Amino acid sequence: MCEEEDNISDMDLERDLEGGTEMGLLDEVVYSENYLPSYRPQGETVSKLEQAEFNQHPDSLFFNDGKRRIDFVLVYENESKKDVDKKHTFQRRKRRREYFEDSLMKRGMVLEATPSVVDDKLLFVKVHMPWDVLCTYAEVLHIKLPIQANDMASKPSPFNCLTKYFYPSEDVIAKETEYFTAPFEKNRLEYFYIKDKDQFFTPAMRSRMAYYILCRAPYEDRGHVKKFGITKLLDGGVYKAAYPLHDCKFNAKSKEDGCSNERYLLYNEWAHPKSFYKMQPLDLIRKYYGEKIAIYFAWLGFYTIMLTLAAIVGLCCFIFGYNTRESSTWSKEVCDPEIGGKIFMCPRCDKDCSYWRLNSTCETSKDLCIFDNYGTLVFAVFMAIWVTLFLEFWKRYQAELEYEWDTVEFLEQEEQPRPEYEAKCIYSRTSPVTGDEEKVPYTACGRCVRLTCGIGTVLFWIFLIIASVVAVIIYRLAVFFTFSRRLREDIKGLEPFKEYVTPQMATTVTASIINFIIIMILNNLYEKVAIWITDFELPRTKTDYENSLTLKMFLFQFVNYYSSCIYIAFFKGKVVGYPGEPVYWLGLYRNEECDPGGCLIELTTQLSVIMGGKAIWNNIQEVLVPWVKNFIFRYCNKVKSEKIIPRWEQDYQLQPLGKLGLFYEYLEMVIQFGFVTLFVASFPLAPLLALVNNLLEIRVDAWKMTTQFRRIVPEKAQDIGAWQPILQGVAILAVATNAAIIAFTSDMIPRLVYYWSFSVSPYTEITSNSMAGYINNTLSIFNISDFSNISRPLEDIIPYWFNNSTTCRYRDFRYPPGHPKQYDHNMYYWHVIAAKLAFIIVVEHIVYLTKFILSYTIPDVPYKVKEQIKREKYLTQVLLHEVNLKLVTNKVKPLMDELACDLEGEDIDLHL
């Protein structure tokens, strides 16, 4: 059943059927008056569709005559061969399809239908655009085409002798000639560089123009109700698929004459695992898939190259921390039996938690030294500078690609309104650009209402995510207390597992499962809501639509992915009170404390698990899911080996790219970019993990796109769209988050304060600065007699070695019992707070100033590109001047000749 039900009565359908409408799909049909377009006389027949049998040329990209190129393919099911009872539905689909195909032919397109070789119920409609139609729509879409060879071609780099081994060989992928281009105009055809009309418009251009017509051709016109567009026909089941053709098999060259075999070249030089070390052939990707796909891979490749430097520095920082883990003074004190072994720590929960020795966290303390050291501070500052350089150099590189790929000023001149936008333009207004009257789908007040509803809905869903995160935190607090009290009794009979099934483990596992379920449910719901809101807002162009949807989805995913890391980094263990007066949530649940090694090690663990697990799962899913779907499809539609399958049917067996296109590919990388920059102070190996993942991601995406998906409809794109400001926002936020992590999550500031202020007289007898005694100085003392009845540990769980002790220690800076201000924060605490705030202010201002200076000094557009743009504009102006001059000359010349004749006659009369 089609998704979009129509208001077509059964009486109308039965009357049409009684009128003699045949189910033969290629016969001439006379529409009833209700189905005729408003511009046709009643009873006019629909154009007849050509039908041809397959000519046994499996690699052919042409009609059966071998001359007319296939620019697009439509696939539908022949309802007359199905044994079903829903004749009315199928009749409606048939009418719409015939009307639609007739509309295409009325617009100059040529159609040819061929039955399937594999399934006799399927028919393939091949679409061809003649030269005149191509010229018309090239002008409509402002497609830029060559006018003159580029006489300012770039000079070869002196490093080519080293880099040539990392680029595809020019013998395999020939370097294309660079041209100056201008928007195509039919009446100036002689000024464009045309060698061969058949090759003038590339297959990607032809497919793009064909899709433009398909999206706007009507399939029903009943009074005020006008319906059009291949997208709705696909959603309604009228057509099963619509796609441009791949030019050959990915693993074998085409045997057809004149085939460029670009898909085969892309597979071997780009998507094949053996080419993992090679740079991407971006010009060929752009030529074959269009600018939108090419700009994604250009950005991904540039990001990966820039990650190399960050990964090297991060690895050096990790090695530095690993080498100092055994020699750091504080980890030695923790592990020392005479120091850490004699420090008894207070319980971390009420009643069911017992005392523990500090040296039990010896290994955790050593691991913390790997990530919490002075090298981390240097690396965090480096990453703040790195991300600025990455964004600035990407702007320069993007400007070069914009010029080379003719997308400079694309948004202003070339992009057409979406069909959904055009269909609802019922209000008139004066255009602020041209001053002419234009149609719009809403008034200024209506637009404001739509945007307000969209913003309100997005905020509601973000608060819903935050509420779910808070709910999971409360669940953790509640079940940790419950597990601590009952789990020990419930597993008495499971002695082998008793050691592993701890309250912490049970709490973490169950909370993770609940959190995963909530994330999956909200992901599915929000994606539909975000699409609905964006449809309701009715953006004018596809770029506006994608940018609006991108912003909504990223805000949601930002909260969804980063909420757990933000909680661990900035909230967990920060407000816990002290053992005699712990802080409770809602008056019931005791707030969580950090791991004995500190919250930084928990944040590091969380990041490594999320980044590693997410990367592995995404790559496996991206490889397996399309491959399994294609395998199942081929298995269900297998034919005898002797049958030859045509190109269009081979492509039909592949998977279509989703409606959101590259959205999830960008989202995956931007979320990774956030992990690399926002929390890098806690995990210096994040850039290295990202680099390894991206090297694999490029080839996986290339392999998937080249071998498992139908050819994507080529689209223009000037840049990476809304992802650019999102990356800039993440880069700005990263400075604040890393400064806050170093200040409030790591122990670096307390160590520095102790080293410079409290390790010498008058606080100690030592005369020179030292870290000796740091651990003892940072642990406060608590008298166990001050425990409340609620939090006092049970007698039967107190270890034997604690029986004669009267005090325990806890992580905080408070006065000891017996002091006039017992359990209040001491002077060390206020020194540390002041140092943390000063550190954040100083570091942020220094880094932001450096970022500003770099952004100002690095121009967004290279000087050479500016010169080439000026040169191209000059040539275009000269071209326009010459054409206008010729037009004026052609019009004035007859008048001048006539005037000259009159003057000659007058001279003769005067002489006589």
Q: Give residue 144's pLDDT.
A: 86
* pLDDT confidence tier of residue 213, bands split at 50, 70 and 90: very high
Give me the mean pLDDT over the 311-318 stretch. Answer: 93
Q: What percent of the chain has pLDDT over 70?
A: 81
Which residue from 749, 728, 804, 802 is spatially nearest to 341, judged by alpha carbons?
A: 802
**Res 886: pLDDT:** 65
| Chain segment 640-665, per-residue pLDDT in tens | 556 788 999 999 989 888 777 788 88
Place of tokens 């997208």: 231
Note the pLDDT of residue 263. Answer: 92
pLDDT of 462 strictly over 50:
yes
- The pTM for the full model equals 0.83
H helices present in 405-423, as ranges: 410-413, 419-423
More confident residue, 674 or 530: 674
Name the nearest CA neighbour of 646 among 33, 57, 202, 129.
Answer: 57
Check residues 680 and 483 and name the one with the higher pLDDT. Answer: 680
**Averaged over 22-51, what is the pLDDT?**
44
Mean pLDDT, the chain, integer: 80
Say if residue 494's pLDDT is above 60: no
- Using CB atoms within 10 Å of the CB of residue 604, give its burial: 0 to 12 exposed, 13 to 18 middle, 19+ buried: buried
And the tokens for 518? 């909530």
Spatial separation of the C-alpha atoms in residues 840 and 851, rounded to whole Å: 16
Q: In the predicted model, what is the mean pLDDT of residues 400-429?
A: 72
CB contact at 8 A, 72 and 214 = yes
pLDDT level of residue 448 (50, 70, 90 thresholds): confident
**DSSP states along 783-795:** EGGG--TTTSPPG
> In the predicted model, is pLDDT for residue 433 greater than 70?
no
Q: Residue 74: CB partners within 8 Å, gap ≥ 6?
A: 124, 125, 127, 230, 239, 241, 242
Q: Helix, strand, or coil here: 561?
A: helix
CA–CA gap between residue 773 and residue 761 (Å, rounded): 13
| CA distances from residue 204 to 251, 403, 512, 712 in whole angstroms, order as listed | 21, 18, 47, 9
- As a whole number of angstroms, the distance between CA 371 and CA 677 comes to 15
Mean per-residue pLDDT, 73-79:
88
